[in-house]
Every structure is written in C-alpha cells, then in structure tokens.
Structure 1
C-alpha cells in the first residue's frame, strides 16, 4: 500500500530520511493534496506556490504515487535536465516507487548520424575550430547512449556545427535514412513511450501538438495527466506555436543541405549549384531590406520598407524555380527527395503569408493591427528580424479557445503551476488567456519571513520612466544602495538599451569611488557562465535584461540587492501586443487593466523572486518606477508582491544592510 501524503511529507517520512536538511512545510503538503485530488478525478488545477514552498516535490510525489502515466513539462531545458537528473530520481528513490522515467527533447537536441556523416565528408567548415568541434561530436556519438548534445561537454551549445549535425523536421529522412536503426531521436521516443513519467519542455509540447512530429503525438493519448511547471510561460509559447511562421533561415538551410546532397548524388546536374547560390542570395536580399539591428515589425512597417515586397516576390519566384529543378533530381537519393519536399513546404509558407498580405491590401487596411478580420479570424501578420534571418509570422490574438480544444477529448488531469500566476490572488487573467473555464485554483504564500528578511524600497524624487535622463537618475539613486550592500546586486532592466546604459553608468560610478566590485553584463558569456562567476565572486554586480528576470537561483549573500529600473510593461509598439490591444478596445474592454497590467505584475513578481531564495537570505528589492506609488494601479503591483517591509527612505535601507553585517 502507498503511504499517505501526510506520512510522506512528515519529519519521520521517506523524504526526510532521504534528503539532507529536509523541512516540513504546511504549504507543500496542502499543495500535494490538491494535486493528488486533481490527478484522481481528472480535474484542471491552477496552483501558485510562492518561492520556498517546494512545489516541485509537491507535484512529483502525488504524480509518482498516482499509478498513471504522467507528462511533466517545464519552461526551460535547464529545469528539464534538473528535474530528470536530480529531483525525479531523489523522489523516486525516497518513495521506492517502481516507476520508469524518461527525458524527451526536440529533435534538434540529438546528434543525427546521417547529417554528422555528411558534414564530416563534406568538410566545409568556416573555421578550424568548427572542424575540431565536428570531430569531437563524432567521438561523442560513438560513446553516448542518449545522443543529447547537452551531455557533450567538449563542444559549446552555441557552436554553429550543431545545426549541421542535428536534424530538423524538414530534413529528417525518416524510415529512408540509412542510420534509421541507430537514431537517437527514435530511441528517446521509444523510452518515453515505455516510461511512467516523461519530462518534456513547453516548446516541445506545443511544437508536437501542432506539428505531430516530436513524439508527443503518441504519448498524449496514453497519458493520465499533464503537469506544466513554470506555467506562466505557456501563453507566450502557445501563441508562438498556434500561429504560422516561415523564415529566411529555413531557406538558407535548404540551399546548404541541397548543395551537400547534390555533391553526393547529383554532381552531373549543373543547374543545382548556381540555383543554390541564387536561392541563398534571394533570402539574404530580403533580410537586408530591414535594419541591421534585431527588431520586430508590423505588417505596415514591412510594407513601407523600400524593396521589401519586390524582394519577397523575388524569393517566392526563386523558390519556385529551385523546386522545379529539384523535382527533376528527387528520385536520385532520399536526401534530394527530402530537399524537394522542403522546397514545396517553404514555397507554400511564403505564399500563405503573402496571401494574407494581399488580402489586407484588398481590404484597404493601412496598419498591421487594424483590419484583422481580413487576415483570418483574430490573427496578426508581422515580421521579426534577427541578426542573420527574417521570420514572417501570423500569430493568433487569443489562444484560449485553441488550447481548450487541445485539452478536450481523452479525460485526464491538467495541472498548471508556477510561483507567479495570480494578480493579488486572482487567477482570472491567466485562466481567461489559457481558456481554462472550469479550472480550480489555489494559492500558497511562501514560507519565508519576508517581513524580517526583505525590504521593498521605492526611492523618492525619480522622474517618470519616459523622461530623458531616467536611467541616469536610477543609477544615481541606486548607487548608494549598492555601496551599502557591498555590491552583491542584480540590476534588471526592461530593455537592452537601458541595460547597456546602466552598465556604463555603474562602471563610471565604481571607478570614481575606487570600488572594486566586479561588474558583469548579460551577453559577455552564457547565462550559466555569468551566474557561476557571480556566485563565485561574492560581491559582483550583474546587469541584465529579460534573461535574468526568471529561472535564476542565487542563494546566500552573493545576491542581496535586486534593482528593477521600471515596471516591465511590454512595449506597446510590439506588433502582436498592439493588435491585441486594438482588438480588446474594439470589443469595449479595457486592454490595459485586463491584459497589460496583469502581465506586468506577473513579470515584476518573477523579477522580485530572484531576491529571497532561502530561509536565511536577506535583501532589498528596489523598484525605481514612480508609477508604483503615483498611479492607482501601482497598488495592484506592490500588493501582489511578498509581504516585505516597505520604505521610501534610503537611511532605512542602509540601516537594514548594516544590521545584517552586524548579525
């Protein structure tokens, strides 16, 4: 017989006996009981659990004791690996539960024997370092059981070689592949099918729900429960996958793969090499019609760009010609057949995007957000330029109904949990966005003593965030607090421009005062490298943007101050957001109160959550946006934060740090 949950979580229970430093938490047991009840009755539960509640064990214990097949989906691959390698084995061993566990990632995470062989035989690497990385991956492929690139420590995840030695949905040869029997992707899927608990990530879950290509399509019908951890990320991820997109990067990948396949199987086709070069140039020309800096563009902004429409038409015509040549060579190898099919899919994708574009023109729309009805039911077309690529998107403005359809059918439990889902304990915004009509909800406060462990500081006299010189004023107000805390600070900025300026200002202040606090900047290394340095140094200041607002855990004295420059409202000129605002306002709703503010509150809670990670942590959360105090909605923000002591006086903050130093 399985032990009761109260026994499992008690001081005499299996968790306490197996885990050093285990503490009982009332909130953890209550959450576990609610999760167990939802699992037993196939219900939908939305659960917010404050930092330190121990929510991971609170859902893993009932999941392992339920006797059913469970999919656990996380927001990041980092948490996915942590769950599979640390948390799940710990709970399974403590409970002595006879359950099989498996880890499943998207196919781009697994070495592909076929593409590895092709890359090595082709040998066209841009740098000597790349050739070395390819040889290291080849050695890894011979010894690894999983083929998961995360386990290949000799090659950085950012190496361009990975895209050459992994497969995509488009270029996988499937059963025609000569290495089909040894395929790491298929092995991972088989293990997932046999397992009782499968750990995936949100991107994989939604990619597969839509594309039916990543192994989840077989998993979902058999599973009894889906648990989403870091569930606050789901609306964004779901929007991404419930839409439609096509990119110039897919085109350049196709040209590159075709070139390699032609060398192996169609050397005598003299038309293919120049066609590959022309296709690659057409993709680059389209990207170059936009600015150098990465940015998002509304449809109106894209149309206004000189040459954009001509180069888009040019790319479609070039693709058409390219596909016609490939069709004549497709029978010569599986690889060329695959490239031909990809060329047809890409051609259809660009045509679909253009058709929406033309429909807008026919309807007389003059901006990217207004006449949405001409562009399919409730979707918006827009573009995102990265350094080397342009992605053209059609994104739904509401995903609730689409997601509700995905949940219907086979009865199972759906659990959504995170430290940040509610606004003042109200889950209305989240449930409406995700289409969770009959969901139960529950909220547990953190067990930490925020009243004595933390101070919320809102400095006086700062200008409005859109004023010139705002970042300079923030840096000036924050620097005395940095001195009082002895460094040990995160500066969380709401834009990359503000982040870079803040870094410059802090550097000047440190040099002027002769202070030797190491100053780290997002982008100077990988996120994990920067965090490791920050922890090791003990008195560093890290200036970051979106990457460091969530999913970052620094315990102890190394992080004692979190400075947020301003309330993180999404930029209103974002194409998708502006279209959603337009739509809600047309429906007579208040887009700011219903959509923009709740999202900003959840983001602030995420940023604030970096500060106190343990019972012994102490620190100051400094929010420099005067709207927190001056605007009526400011109350909704700070009342949603943990119950810290609040002050507007610098002297109280300095005394708080001084008291900590004496303790």
Structure 2
C-alpha cells in the first residue's frame, strides 16, 4: 500500500484514529514505538521492544505493519489477544486506514473436525459412554453444514467431552491428498484461506510446531511473510524448545492402537493376531502410565527411580510396536491408511529409542508425568543457534514485543536465549503515574522464605492489608503447595474473625469463571499460582491489592532449567546472574503488572519476600519495576487503601 499518511498524522488528534475511536488521545510513547517499528519494517531489521502497560503497543505495531503492506504474520501467546486482534484491533486500524486487507486466524489441527475420523467413529460405534454416542451424531449434523468445522462452533458439546480425540484432526492420522475428504477438508480450507490473507494471526505453539518442525501446511505461509511480529514474546523461550525438540506421549500410542483397530478390523482376516498385539501394546503402555507414584510433575531421565528397570519397560514396548509395524508391511502398499499406520508406528519407535539413548549433551531427556499419561521429551537446552539460522533463511522484518522483556533495563537475557544478539532494542516505560497511584510495600520482620512457618507469618501480615483493601485482592503464589496452604490459613483467619470475604482459588473453576466471580463479588480474594501471574486483566476498583508471596525463582528441579544452569556453569558463566536472576525479574514484572491496568487504577503491590531488601541482587528486582512509591510501614499502606 502506498503511504498516503505519515505515522505522525495517523496518531494525531484529530486524525484517522480519533475519527473512529471515542475519547482517543495522543500518546507520546505510542507514536515513538510506531516510528521505531516502522523503521525496523522498512529496513528489514530485527527489533526487540519492551512497552510498559499503557503505551498502546498493539496499535504501535499494527499501524506500521499495515501501512507498509505485504504479508504479515502475528504470533501471540494467548487466545484472548488473538481474539482481540482479530475481532477488534486490526479491523479498527483497517477501517482507519481505509484499506481492504484480509485477516485470518490460523489454529492448530486439533481445533478442526476431521471428516474421515468422524465417519470412522460413526461406523465403529464404540464409545466410552452414552453421552459420546449422542454427541457424535450432533457433531455430524453440524459438520455437514459447516464451512469451517472449528470445534468452537459445537457449543452444545462440552470442551471436556471424551468424544473430541475421536473426531478432531491430528498430524498423525492425516492422509493428506490421499484422503477421500481432502477437497472438503476443514484444515486444508483454513490453511488455504490463511495463505490468501494479508494478515495471519497464529499462536506461538502453532508457529514453532508447524513451521520449525517443517509441517508443510504452515511453511507455505511463513516463508512469504514480509513482517513477523511476536506479541507476548517473553513466552517464546519457554515454548519454542518444546517444539524444536521431539516428544511422544503414551496417549499417542494408545490412540495409534485405537485407530489401527478401528481401520483394520474391518478389512483383515487375521484379526486375532492384531487383537493380541494391540493388547500387548496397551498393557505395556499402561504399565508405564502407572509406574510413577507422583502425578503432574517433570522429571529428568537420570532422576527416574530404578531407571534400568524403567528402560526395560520402554524396550519391551518398542518390541511390541516393532511387531505391530511388521504386521502392517504386507498391507501398506495396498492402502494409504495402512501405510499411514506403519509410518506412525515407525515414528513412535524412533522417538522412544531416541529418548532412552541420551548421549547428546546439548539436549535434555525428560518426562512430563500427568494424571493418566506420560509424555517423553527430548528438548534442546539452547534454541539460539536454531532460531538464528531460522531467521537468516526467512528474510523478513522480525518484531519481538511484550511488557516484560528486559531485566534491570537490559535485554541481554532474552537476546542470548533467542540468538538475537544483533537485534535492535528499545525500552518504553509505562506512562502511568505509579508514584502517585501505587505503593510497593515490603513488610518488615518476615522470616526466611525457607522457614516452615513462612506462610503463617505471611497470612498474619497480609490480613490487615486485605481488610483495608476491603477484599479486592490477588494473592500470587510461586507454588501450588503454598497456594493451598495460604488459602487454608487465610480461611481459618477469616472464620475466627467473622470476615465474609469470598476466597476463590485456582483449580476450583476455569480461569475465566474465577475472574468473572472475582469481579461479580467486588470484595473477593483470588489466590492463584503461576498461571495467574500473567494474562489476567482486572481494571478499576475491583482490584486494589496484589500480594506476591516470594520472589519467583524457578525451582531448580525442573529438568530443562537445571540442564541450562549446568551448561552455563560448565562454560564458566555465572548462571545465577545471567539466567536465574533475569528470568525471575521478568516473572516478577509479570505478576506486578496485574495491579495497574489503566491510568485511573490505584492500589498496592505487596511483596512478602525480604530478599528484595536484604540481598544484594534485590535491588535488581525493584529497580526493574515501575516507579512505585515504596514503603515498609504498614500504616502508610492502610491509610492509602482507606482513602481509595
């Protein structure tokens, strides 16, 4: 598109934006960021830019991206931001610029109905419960008249229904052009629509899963991009390594057997052999699922108890899968479905073999232990070289933005993790008046965070502050265990003192419902762990107090984190100062960012970890936060809250 307007003219009041946005006002930093992004796009540069809450970063990257034209890929971490971009922000900019750009959201395969799997499920007719048998007919009815086939259309069927794995698309069981439903395939339609669009919105998971792992569908889109924008870019270093490595779950193995039986029992004469092999694979897989006593945790391969015995179980499963694979040999040349099953089985075997053989020190081999399944992961300790090479192959403008990318005003941490040492950087602070509207309060006389009675002291300290805030409190904990203990202690304290503020806790309901309840009550306390440290937006008087129990240093027990520390230490690098500390600072900035979401917001950020004052590195934490008014005096805080 020819630039009929300058960036400055677009953000002026009066101007194109003020004509369509009520109460639009000029923001100095918003214009500054837009100019910086515009320059990066024109020069085909890589840019890392932190924009504090209130800068207006979304418009600051959208305006120059649309004004420069070409194909734009925008990757986000959350569905909320995807929907905001697709439904609100991009249409607003498009209308202001008066240009007819096509916008599309591209989602992962599992968001779409697979017509072949749906028909096979109907023919097979074997479901886990009566509800699924009813749901499959509802899905068929809606899918037959749908243009897009997204599961979001099927709002009469619960998201938690066990029917979805039987009817949604996966890369494992996709037959591609050999499928009888290829011409009407919902995934193919979505990808074609995305290819034809000027602006494509994806999430970080899809970006790295489908492009870096060279999924042909998405690679048709991204190499043609003129501009790639990562919003919520601070999450990329956690997400990308998972997709740059390899993983296989026990559920995938069970689904393979399920699919094989569904397809093959209709065709084969030697069904008994298939049934016996299926039973052996299922038994071996389930023995792995029940091997671990604890649930919902990560473990490095070298820390698995009785590792040799566990590896024997894996090898036993591999033997059964190998027989399964050979079973398909005589049929694979006759039929695409047979060939697909053989290839899936071979891929699973190779991934399991790779997982139990861990000679390459640049990768970490670990397992995610879930309630009813185990996922085996082989993950690169560093993605810097891979991502740098990836950028060099795809000549485009690369924009990385978030409200939390810098630690103590430095981008070194993010740059080293991503291989972006040569990228341009810019830090734009929040324009909000923190020194007038917000306190940073660190209570005195708190015990060491390792003390057994730490949470007892914490509840004693936060209780009078919560009363002064009249509820309206987030408590952000660094662990599920602490979260539950704080909830129990606070509940007892309230009951003894006849305080009726509702206490809402992560896990009791969905995140969205908990936030709805929090706003509805108007005096609630919401206690959450790490998932509530970001992506939560409560504006106005409903939230006046954010309490953080401890500085959010990651647990050294995490296998990826531990391997990164060991690698840095082996290179003679101070892992604490270059990795652990910056990572914790960025996490703290995310948690602190829940408090002030609007220029009219007021409140208190209470950090109950005295290390922010007593340790030499503590200064790096509070200097990385906005310019709060700081105090250790409880009365200052109570008086401030009483006058809100």
| Aligned equivalents of 1:122, 1:540: Cα separation in 2 | 49
Show the counterpart of 1:349. Answer: 351
Compare 52-61 and 522-531 and name the one that shifted more: 522-531
| Aligned equivalents of 1:555, 1:127: Cα separation in 2 | 43
| Aligned equivalents of 2:389, 2:586: Cα separation in 1 | 26
Show the counterpart of 2:443. Answer: 459
| Aligned equivalents of 1:143, 1:546: Cα separation in 2 | 41
Decide whether the 8 Å contact of 1:202 with 1:237 is kept in 2. yes
| Aligned equivalents of 1:124, 1:509: Cα separation in 2 | 52
Show the counterpart of 2:309. Answer: 307
Show the counterpart of 2:513. Answer: 529
Show the counterpart of 1:289. Answer: 291
Shift of 1:102: 1.2
| Aligned equivalents of 1:273, 1:525: Cα separation in 2 | 40
| Aligned equivalents of 2:136, 2:524: Cα separation in 1 | 36
Show the counterpart of 2:488. Answer: 504
Shift of 1:331: 4.9
| Aligned equivalents of 1:314, 1:604: Cα separation in 2 | 45
Q: Does 1:574 align with 2:558?
A: yes
Decide whether the 8 Å contact of 2:265 with 2:271 is kept in 1. no
| Aligned equivalents of 1:288, 1:29: Cα separation in 2 | 57
Residues 609-649 of structure 1 deviation map (CA, whole Å, 9 limit, x = unaligned): 11111111111111111111110101100110111111111
| Consecutive unaligned residues in structure 1, runs of 5 or more | 357-374
Decide whether the 8 Å contact of 1:49 with 1:446 is kept in 2. yes
Q: Does 1:324 align with 2:326?
A: yes
| Aligned equivalents of 2:401, 2:470: Cα separation in 1 | 35
Shift of 1:246: 2.0
Decide whether the 8 Å contact of 2:213 with 2:244 is kept in 1. no
Show the counterpart of 1:191. Answer: 193
State the secondary structure of the residue aligned to 1:467: coil
Tell me which stretches of 4 or more aligned residues in structure 1 moved more than 4 Å: none
| Aligned equivalents of 2:467, 2:126: Cα separation in 1 | 52
**CA gap 1:616/1:134 in 2 versus in 1, 3 angstroms:** farther
Show the counterpart of 1:383. Answer: 367
Decide whether the 8 Å contact of 1:65 with 1:97 is kept in 2. no
Q: Does 1:583 align with 2:567?
A: yes
What RMSD over aligned residues (CA atoms) do the two structures have, in Å?
Answer: 1.6
Show the counterpart of 2:243. Answer: 241
Show the counterpart of 2:389. Answer: 405
Q: Indicate which of 103, 106, 124 corresponds to 1:104.
A: 106
Q: Indicate which of 521, 545, 550 corresponds to 2:534.
A: 550
Decide whether the 8 Å contact of 1:489 with 1:542 is kept in 2. yes
Decide whether the 8 Å contact of 1:204 with 1:214 is kept in 2. no
Q: Does 1:450 align with 2:434?
A: yes
Decide whether the 8 Å contact of 1:207 with 1:214 is kept in 2. no
State the TM-score, normalized to the length of structure 1. Answer: 0.94
Shift of 1:210: 2.7
Shift of 1:328: 3.4
| Aligned equivalents of 1:651, 1:79: Cα separation in 2 | 39
Shift of 1:445: 1.0
| Aligned equivalents of 1:490, 1:264: Cα separation in 2 | 56
Summarize the alignment of residues 215-230 of structure 1 with structure 2, pairs less than 5 Å apart.
215-230=217-232
**CA gap 1:407/1:487 in 2 versus in 1, 3 angstroms:** same
Show the counterpart of 1:363. Answer: none
Compare 224-233 and 269-278 and name the one that shifted more: 269-278
State the TM-score, normalized to the length of structure 2. Answer: 0.97
Show the counterpart of 1:396. Answer: 380
Show the counterpart of 2:611. Answer: 627
Decide whether the 8 Å contact of 1:265 with 1:333 is kept in 2. no
Decide whether the 8 Å contact of 2:589 with 2:625 is kept in 1. yes
Show the counterpart of 2:523. Answer: 539
| Aligned equivalents of 2:440, 2:24: Cα separation in 1 | 29
| Aligned equivalents of 2:508, 2:263: Cα separation in 1 | 37
Q: Indicate which of 271, 287, 309 corresponds to 1:269.
A: 271
Shift of 1:200: 0.6
| Consecutive unaligned residues in structure 2, runs of 5 or more | none
Show the counterpart of 2:45. Answer: 43
